[in-house]
Amino acid sequence: MDDRQLQQWVEEISLQSFGRPFLHQARFNRRLRSTGGRYFTRTHDIEISWHQYEQYGKQDVEKIIKHELCHYHLHLTKRGYQHRDEDFKRLLQHVGGTRYCRALPDALRRKEPYRYKLVCQHCGMEYMRKRKTDPRKYACGHCRGRLKLVALDLQMNS
């Protein structure tokens, strides 16, 4: 399936399930891994995770499309389109969309190793980080003590 076919599919689902046309762009995004899809409030476009389609097929992706179309139609009609809004929850249940998408296997999620550790100088609490952070900007969440940055020794097997 390509973006053109996805566009037609989203337009069909919109008319069948919502009784309203989808007048913007729908496309696959191969970088989406932790979410099934996205709705953009500025452009009203929708992106769907290619990996969800590849891994779980049409049935699961149809539920994700319905979820994104709930955001789309509620936003355009100036009703509660956010996850916490009652309008959104009600419409999602009515059309049979999914609240959450299924998790992708670890091989597709590209988990990075922890490369840094922040250590509290007062209580010894440790905070693992993937990115380097400035310890002066933060305090220990446990005792409010000062933090010290420690780079972890990662051995690359080449």
Cα dihedral across residues 88, 93, 96, 98: positive or negative = positive
Cα dihedral across residues 35, 48, 92, 98: positive or negative = negative
Domain boundary among 109, 127, 143: 109
Asked if pLDDT for residue 55 goes beyond 80, the answer is yes
Residue 138, number of CB atoms within 10 A of its CB: 13
Q: Quick one: 44 and 20 in the same domain?
A: yes
Q: Which residues are catalytic?
A: 68
Does residue 65 belong to any structural domain of this protein? yes
Q: Quick one: 44 and 99 in the same domain?
A: yes
Q: What is the CATH number of the domain that holds 48?
A: 3.30.2010.10
Domain boundary among 109, 125, 142: 109
Q: Quick one: 53 and 101 in the same domain?
A: yes
Q: Which two tokens stand for residue 135?
A: 């310890």
Domain count, the chain: 2
Which tens digit of pLDDT belongs to each residue from 89-132?
999 999 999 999 998 887 676 667 889 999 999 999 999 998 89
pLDDT at res. 156: 45
